[in-house]
Structure 1
Amino acid sequence: MPLTTREPGASQGPGPRGGLTRRTVGGLLWAAWGKGAQAVLHLLVLAVLARLLSPSDFGVVSAALVVIGFSAIFTQLGLGPALVQRPILEQRHLDTAFSFSLGMAVFVGAAVAAGAPLVAAFFQTPQVEPVVRVLALIFPMQGLALVAESLARRELRFRWLANIDVAAYGIAYGVVGVGLALAGWGVWALACAELVRVGVRTAALIVGQEQRPRIAWERAAFGELMYFGGGFTIAKIANYLAVQGDNLVVGRMLGPAAL
């Protein structure tokens, strides 16, 4: 049974075009607020952590996150944007997307953890190996949150999403990261902070979304979602390599500290 037959974000009241326009503009403003607030928090936290941690600590985590970020693309295969854009969205689409993303997240997380020695060898830095293995826990958390985040975007709940991102970053890095750095945890202060950020964000997204997907699979629903998601995945891979490719080269040639 369809959850909605309207365009994503469409208003139910009079003047749907005007209502949608206002909500879209408002969403863009809230998204800008989220990015701006995070940027300010990042500068403040970085100013503190730079006095407590070494460049190598930052570099090791940055190297690990480059690999984590690239691998995460394959856990979703564009299903999130497909859920947002699809005009008619049914429960079977949500269940299939949730089941696939969670299953792939567990698989990719295990593969990345097992391949951590290869990542460390690529960057010629043994310290990267345990960090990659721990940060691989990010994958299943992201898999759990895929449908909830996609529905929030579909409903144009950008204020909610922006506030979640700001709060999660502040708690994770401003409280946990700085606290662990003061306690002498070194590189693990950053690794644990990133885990907390993703964990807080995932929990908030799930709690804030009423619609609950189930573990279920339908081939037809998957094909309908991948009709859009496949092209998005290719574009995202190309974009990620364009943005992060230099970090791979620098990390390989000069070591993680240069990152």
Structure 2
Amino acid sequence: MSAPVSVAKGAALVIAMRWTHRLIGLVSTLILARLLVPDDFGVVAQASLVVGLLDVLTDMGVASALIQNANATQRHYDTAWTIRLAQFSLASVAILLLAPTAGEYFGDARVVPVLQVMSLGLIVAGCENIGVVNFQKEMRFGLDFRFMFTKRLSGFLITVTLAILWESYWAMVAGAIGGRMVGVLVSYRMHPMRPRFSLAEFGSIFGFAQWMLVRNIGNYLNNNVHRLLVGGRGSTAQMGAYSLANDVAQMPGTEIISPLNRVLFPAFVRAKEDPEELNRLVLLALGVQALVAIPACVGLGAVAHEAVLVLLGEKWLSATAFIEILTLAYLVPSITSTPSYVLMSLGYVRLNAVVAWCQLVAFVSVAVLIMPTAGALEIAQIRLATVLVTLAGLLFVLVRTLPLMRWSSLLGVLFRPIAGAVCLVLAVDYVAALLPANPYVSLVAKVVIGALAYVLSVVALWWISGRPQGAESYLLSKLRSLRRARKKTS
């Protein structure tokens, strides 16, 4: 059994393993993009939106409730498992009933049988062992990774194998269900807990989870209403291009920030009784996330055209403009995730829910009421504008909630990464006209030049500022530690 680790080691471990995990997803996407066409992706994307919506409408966030409760007993785990199984079963029945309506909305009858099959996967997922939540709660991230990696790898192998054999979108459906079935089997093999049907602690779990449900619904709609609108207003092929662009655009931010959040959430919970330590941890987390996520997201947008040609092929060029905008839209959640998890760790789940729903109302007001005929590109631009407003709102809530937090501290950890990203874009735009037409050469050159421009500008600004303690000094200290460790082993 692996032992708990520190926040720093846990973050490094989970990020490294999450990138391995994401590599599987990236390879899968690239292979499927070559084997299938945008129309195939559109069918599955439309069905996945319906599945995800009904899933989140019944999701009470029982895993977060268990992590937040330091004194959870077996009765809590049994109750959480029972609630989750009921949730997935209810969502499965709802999908079966709404499948014909979804087919009419999207204007594609192929969505109906896909939804009917995908509904079965939810019941399978509901049977997963609730005990695996302890891998994250107890910061045993090695086991956490092994569990997630096994599920993803099995789904990848099934999907790619069937895509080669069938050359059909059904390969993606079968791969998703197959991965969930493997996940259930592995969950009981990896953790000894054997949950039983019980609602003994329903009241205590529901007290926390009811606002998690409201928050999760708001977050899901924020992340997917734009896709629902594109699916209803455009063709299936356009939906496929937009959906793939959305998946690609969120990779830089979410694949860096998601693993950090898995480490930071339990760490914030442990530090909530020490205001000074919590304030230090929040600023450091926000600084590190901004320092890495901002250039990753902005950089992808700067090389979107070449990246699409090299990785996906010419048939996906229509996704380029979407990627350029959506990468910036997904940059904001990568920054706001730290304030969200801080509020959650302190028990202010209601505030998180309010912020999420305010963003949703703002987006719907513009995209549906003010601009009812907006196309896919305009919808992406509206999404970017609304998430920027949300960023300001969450930072305001964070300053008001943490007694030691100051605006000057928040802006201090964000200024250098933002300035460095501006230098990155200017450098890439400057050299674009000098590069050859070959997309492979151009992509490599832009990535190298952009990375150098960002690193040099951030280091220069940090040095001019007097080398303050923060994300830069933290990362440099970790690099020095790694260098010393290598020298000792060599």
Q: TM-score, normalised by structure 2?
A: 0.46
CA contact (8 A) 2:129 2:194 kept: no
Q: Which residue of 2 aligns with 1:16?
A: none
What is the identity, as a one-letter code, of the residue corresponding to 1:226?
A: F
Q: Are 1:34 and 1:165, in contact at CA under 8 Å, matched by a contact in 2?
A: no
In 2, distance between residues paired with 1:148 and 1:122? 39
Q: Does 2:92 align with 1:109?
A: yes
Determine whether 1:93 maps to 2:73. Answer: no
| Whole-angstrom CA distance in 1 between matches of 2:32 and 2:154 | 14
Aligned to 1:11: none
Change (3 A) 1:103 1:30: same
- Structure 1 runs of 4+ with >4 Å offset: none
Which residue matches 1:54?
A: 37
Aligned to 1:242: 222
Alignment partner, residue 105 of structure 2? 122
Separation in 2, partners of 1:146, 1:212: 7
- Indicate the residue corresponding to 1:151 in structure 2: 134
Q: Is the 8 A contact 1:83 1:89 kept in 2?
A: yes
Q: 2: CA distance between counterparts of 1:53 and 1:35?
A: 26
For residues 49-88 of structure 1, the aligned pairs below 5 Å read 49-88=32-71
Distance 1:198 1:47 in 2: 22
Counterpart code for 2:23: V
Q: CA deviation at 1:151?
A: 2.5
Q: What is the total number of aligned residue pairs between the two structures?
A: 237
- What is the root-mean-square deviation of aligned Cα atoms in Å? 1.9
Q: How far apart are the structure 2 equivalents of 1:63 and 1:26? A: 39
Alignment check: 8 A CA contact 2:41 2:169 kept: yes
Kept in 1: contact 2:32–2:160 (CA 8 A)? yes
* Per-residue deviation, 1:176: 1.4
Per the alignment, residue 208 of structure 2 pairs with 228
How far the C-alpha of 1:146 sits from its partner, in A, is 5.9
Letter in 1 for 2:24: L
Deviations 1:38-71 (A, max 9, x none): 3322222222222211211111111111221222
Task: Flag the 1:226–1:210 CA change in 2: closer, same or farther, 3 A.
Answer: same
Q: Deviation at 1:249?
A: 0.7
CA deviations on 1:75-110 (whole Å, 9 max, x unpaired) are 431211101111211222112111222122212211
Q: Note the C-alpha offset of 1:168.
A: 2.3
Partner SS for 1:192? helix
AA aligned to 2:92 is G
Structure 1 distance, partners of 2:20, 2:120, is 26
Q: Which residue of 1 aligns with 2:13?
A: 30
* Distance in 1 separating the partners of 2:118 and 2:8: 35
- Taking the aligned partners of 1:116 and 1:54, their CA distance within structure 2 comes to 23
1:142 and 1:198 in contact (8 A); partners too: yes
AA aligned opposite 2:168? G
Q: For 1:185-224, what aligned pairs fall within 5 Å after superposition? A: 185-218=167-200, 221-224=201-204
Identify which of 104, 120, 133 aligns with 2:116: 133
Residue 201 of structure 1 aligns to which amino acid in structure 2?
G
Q: Which one-letter code corresponds to 2:144 in the other structure?
A: L
Gaps of 5+ in 2: 244-490
What SS is found at the alignment partner of 1:76? coil
Residue 185 of structure 1: CA displacement? 4.8
Structure 1 residues 34 and 89, CA, compared in 2 at 3 Å: closer, same or farther? same
Other structure's SS at 2:128 match: helix
Larger Rg belongs to: 2
Quick one: distance in 2 between partners of 1:120 and 1:63?
9
Q: 1:177 to 1:74 in 2, by over 3 A?
A: same
Conserved? CA contact 1:60–1:127, under 8 Å: yes
For 1:40 and 1:142, locate their aligned partners in 2 and report how far apart those are by CA, in whole Å. 23
AA at the equivalent of 1:48? I
The Cα of 1:186 is off from its aligned counterpart by: 0.2
More helix as a share of residues: 2
Q: Is the 8 A contact 1:110 1:136 kept in 2?
A: yes
Deviation at 1:127, TM superposition (A): 0.7
> CA offsets, 1:183-205, max 9 Å, x none?
12501111101111222222222
Distance between the aligned counterparts of 2:94 and 2:81, measured in 1?
20
Mapped partners of 1:104, 1:146: distance in 2: 15
Gapped regions of structure 1 (runs ≥ 5): 1-18
